Structure 1
């Protein structure tokens, strides 16, 4: 529990650091006329928003389940990731349009300011990246926060190089080029996150699970004739649920069925990582025996 709280505090620090960087870069971008700085600021701003969403979602997902909300808020983080990803993509497209316009009409830019602000951003993001380094493997939410921060750091490095090129070689078109590059990267990251969170929200079967193989494994167990009407879905990062109907080969007692149920639980958890199951036992019931039944 303390561990969770710990990663929350780190998120909080990252949020404050990023708000600082974002403000500095927006002011700097406006003063220096650098679109790359502004796009980097935007990148940082999407971070701040996504970190805040992650922070709020992580708090929400700890709330207890209740009669009105039997799952509690366990999907809050997935929805947060989905919203983050969509906004990332939209913002990136706007940036690319801006960059193209700028590329056709390059403007002179105050490179010294660009250089200092990109250094500031690299340091700030670097700190945030280090803070979240160990927690990023824990869940989609923190992983998305980490990805944001890490790409920010790289984007700021690019802006720094751009600033140096502008200062020493007056290559002002580099600014639009970098803006577009940062934006394209944002789109790639965004699409991946969008796909993952979308498939969880749509209750698609997690990619790691082969339903045919799973059904086959269960059908091998004693007394089990046929597993059918299967639903498998991911509730959030930590939970995969399965519900199914199982035809039994004889009319056994509930005690005997519970022994089978235990075998099913062990198989599903150890081999498939499914940690919540709900099985409906049946004997000689006339119903649809297909593995997948459209309800």
Structure 2
């Protein structure tokens, strides 16, 4: 995450998202009408997923706007995590849609219904073209933002869904296999669930103040302790501010006899952290004689933990 670089002009990106929202809303209406007229659950499933695409893009658009606000006294780290919250909403929505489609697909397998194959094929073909256009509009931005990546994946899964619907229409026309329609619906649902559950993990990790996936916490501590003048390091917090910024908060104990060069030691520790792609570091310097007594390497004891330990 930390290695990402933003190449897309924000205003150009906004125009792409606005265009993608417009075509997806038009497509949703066409697919729902077509699905009702043809009796195809797979087409309606594709339509609902398309509506979620449009909503995902609207959420992504709003989050991009909010994320550009400068830091203030209410949000001292800035508003960049608005995009992470948007990604969480979008992936959660996809999971709910996937579960609903599984339920509907199984129901249709139990009680099959007639399907108009030609109508299904034509509408799904139009949908596929629009899905591919929308995916192309958001592809470049998806590399730099988990928010836009969530919206992009909505579109990719929808394009695959459209392909599945076309195949179902052809099989229904050729062999009269109406059961293919709910089977394709279940396949679309399975893909949506697999994709969403895979992608939602990093989003939750970031919101839970987890350490960067690509960082080795033990190696970071080892490099801090290896700095000349550092006796020990404790109460280390390592987390992601957003996709592009990692942060460290730690207590650094300066060896006895090196207190007069404490500032130089601190600068050397900061330099060591930059080698681990740490863009923000808050270091509390302690002399060896007055270092914390109740030390733990990562994090620190909260009031709840302290009370729990005391009770024992």
Cα distance in 2 for partners of 1:210, 1:100 equals 45
2:282 alignment partner, SS class: strand
- Aligned counterpart for 2:122 among listed residues 80, 97, 116: 116
Contact (CA 8 Å) 2:90, 2:151: kept in 1 or not? no
- Aligned counterpart for 2:278 among listed residues 268, 274, 277: 274
Contact (CA 8 Å) 1:232, 1:243: kept in 2 or not? yes
Q: How does 1:226-241 map to 2 (within 5 A)?
A: 226-241=232-247
Q: How does 1:83-122 map to 2 (within 5 A)?
A: 83-122=89-128
1:45 alignment partner, SS class: helix
Contact (CA 8 Å) 1:126, 1:153: kept in 2 or not? yes
1:133 alignment partner, SS class: helix
What do you get for the CA RMSD once the two structures are aligned? 1.6
1:265 aligns with 2:247: no
Partner of residue 51, structure 1: 57
Change (3 A) 1:277 1:82: same
1:207 aligns with 2:213: yes
> Alpha-carbon deviation of 1:2?
7.0
Off by >6 Å, runs of 4+ in structure 1: none
Partner of residue 135, structure 1: 141
> Alpha-carbon deviation of 1:253?
5.9
Structure 1 unmatched ranges of 5 or more: none
Residues matched between the structures, number:
293
Cα distance in 1 for partners of 2:209, 2:139 equals 30
Cα distance in 2 for partners of 1:251, 1:12 equals 62
Cα distance in 2 for partners of 1:291, 1:105 equals 60
> Alpha-carbon deviation of 1:65?
1.6
Partner of residue 19, structure 1: 25
> Alpha-carbon deviation of 1:63?
1.0
| TM-score normalized by the length of structure 2 | 0.89
2:204 alignment partner, SS class: helix
| TM-score normalized by the length of structure 1 | 0.94
1:82 aligns with 2:88: yes
Partner of residue 301, structure 2: 294
> Alpha-carbon deviation of 1:247?
0.1
Structure 2 unmatched ranges of 5 or more: 1-6, 303-312
Cα distance in 2 for partners of 1:32, 1:24 equals 12
1:121-154: per-residue Cα shift (whole Å, max 9, x none)? 1110111112222222112112112111111111
